[in-house]
């Protein structure tokens, strides 16, 4: 594919596509073979909540993780499925990438704990022993039948970006798996992030390789600019970009990044690309320096439905 076509593909993806101190408890991180505790099993609050909070926050800040990813769950009782479902979150440098923008960063969870302490609310927390991040947060859980309280869970936090470094071979292998196992009809949510206003999220319905319907969930430009893509189209676009990712600079653009693919179906769950413009081309100046694309909640649907 020539440089201008590569630019068109990228453009399609971007433009289319209180009173007293309430203590905090700390318990030792359980072995990986032991399931996470329920809120009622957390150690009773201790009398030095702020001290424990700051000690954990200091451990987290000392770790100085530039990039990390985790799964966030807001066990909010009778709230919507969208709000309560486990969500993959990626923090890349100072930017958070979370489809729907519903999950907090670790720093924001620390702030939420501190705000609850300041307000004199009942707080229980389990901190990771090594890195200090809050693994489980329970606020006002005794009032859960009334207002739901707050129950946050952070799981599977890992350093770095999700997946592996992208390459032509990795993408080709994932595409073969997708072609062999894809549903006849499916629905999923496509989200596009970039350091520009042209980002959004769209629920897309597909039969075979044909888009049969879509619903825009949010759009930063408020103009409905994000364009739905079938998974097959995403693989085609990724293949066109791989020459640059593999080290060949096309038209003054270099792409580097990582990707994670579904282990059973092969479709790309998360793709993150840094975009470096090397040529003095006014057409390329408008490209963002980073693009993230996520495909979430993919599930089969009835054909013709």
Count of residues for the chain? Answer: 305
Identify which has the larger pLDDT, 26 or 255: 255
Identify the band that residue 15 occupies on the pLDDT scale cut at 50, 70 and 90: very low
Average pLDDT of the chain, as a whole number = 75
Identify the three-state secondary structure at position 70.
strand
Asked which of 159, 180, 201 is the last residue of a domain, the reply is 159
The H or E element spanning position 64 is none
pLDDT tens-digit series, residues 32-82: 333 444 444 444 443 467 888 999 999 999 988 888 889 888 887 666 666
Does residue 57 belong to any structural domain of this protein? yes
Q: How far apart are CA 223 and CA 221, in angstroms?
A: 5
Greater model confidence, 209 or 285: 209
Distance, CA of 157 to CA of 119 (rounded, Å): 29
Among candidate residues 114, 137, 159, the one where a domain is terminated:
159
Based on the domain organization, do 45 and 31 belong to the same domain?
yes
Residues 148 and 171 placed together within one structural domain of the fold: no
| pLDDT, position 254 | 75
The span from the CA of 241 to the CA of 271, in Å, is 12
* Domain membership flag for residue 1: no
Domain shared by 54 and 77, yes or no? yes
Whole-structure pTM value: 0.63
Number of domains in the chain: 2
Q: Are 227 and 177 part of one and the same domain?
A: yes
User: Considering 115, 136, 159, which residue would you say is the last residue of a domain?
Assistant: 159
CB 153 within 8 A of CB 73: yes
Highest mean pLDDT: which range of 18-32, 178-192, 210-224? 178-192
**Are both 228 and 277 inside the same structural domain?**
yes
Of 40-49, 218-227, 243-252, where does mean pLDDT reach its minimum?
A: 40-49
Q: Are residues 175 and 248 in the same domain?
A: yes
Domain span including residue 279 = 163-300
Asked whether residue 7 is domain-assigned, the answer is: no
pLDDT at 185: 96
In this prediction, residues 196-212 reach a mean pLDDT of: 84
Q: Mean pLDDT throughout 9-25?
A: 34
Q: Are residues 169 and 291 in the same domain?
A: yes
Report yes or no on 8 lying in a domain: no
Alpha helices (H) in the chain, listed in sequence order: 3-11, 49-63, 81-84, 106-118, 144-147, 168-181, 231-245, 282-285
- Residue 5 falls inside a structural domain: no
Q: Are residues 46 and 154 in the same domain?
A: yes
Do 185 and 64 lie in one domain? The reply is no
pLDDT, tens digit, for every residue of 99-108?
666 788 899 9
Q: pLDDT tens, 152-197?
A: 899 999 888 887 777 788 888 999 999 999 999 999 988 888 766 5
């Amino acid at each position: 594919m020539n440089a201008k076509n590569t630019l068109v593909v990228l453009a399609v993806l971007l433009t289319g596509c209180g009173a007293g101190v309430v203590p905090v408890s700390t318990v030792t991180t359980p072995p990986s073979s032991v399931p996470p505790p329920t809120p009622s099993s957390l150690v009773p609050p201790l009398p030095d909540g702020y001290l424990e909070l700051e000690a954990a926050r200091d451990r987290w800040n000392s770790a100085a993780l530039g990039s990390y990813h985790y799964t966030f769950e807001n066990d909010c009782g009778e709230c919507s499925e969208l709000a309560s479902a486990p969500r993959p979150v990626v923090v890349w440098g100072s930017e958070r990438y979370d489809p729907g923008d519903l999950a907090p960063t670790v720093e924001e969870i620390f702030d939420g704990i501190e705000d609850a302490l300041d307000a004199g609310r009942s707080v229980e927390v389990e901190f990771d022993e090594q890195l200090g991040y809050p693994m489980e947060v329970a606020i006002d859980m005794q009032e859960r039948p009334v207002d739901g309280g707050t129950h946050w869970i952070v799981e599977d936090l890992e350093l770095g970006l999700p997946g592996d470094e992208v390459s032509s071979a990795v993408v080709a292998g994932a595409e073969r798996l997708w072609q062999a196992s894809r549903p006849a009809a499916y629905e999923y949510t496509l989200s596009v992030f970039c350091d520009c206003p042209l980002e959004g999220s769209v629920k897309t319905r597909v039969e075979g390789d044909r888009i049969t319907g879509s619903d825009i969930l949010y759009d930063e430009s408020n103009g409905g600019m994000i364009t739905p893509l079938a998974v097959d189209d995403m693989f085609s676009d990724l293949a066109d970009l791989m020459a640059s990712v593999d080290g060949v600079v096309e038209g003054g653009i270099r792409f580097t990044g990582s990707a994670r693919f579904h282990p059973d179906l092969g479709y790309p769950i998360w793709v993150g690309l840094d975009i470096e413009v090397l040529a003095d081309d006014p057409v390329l100046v408008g490209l963002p320096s980073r693009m993230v694309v996520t495909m979430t909640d993919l599930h089969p649907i009835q054909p013709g439905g």
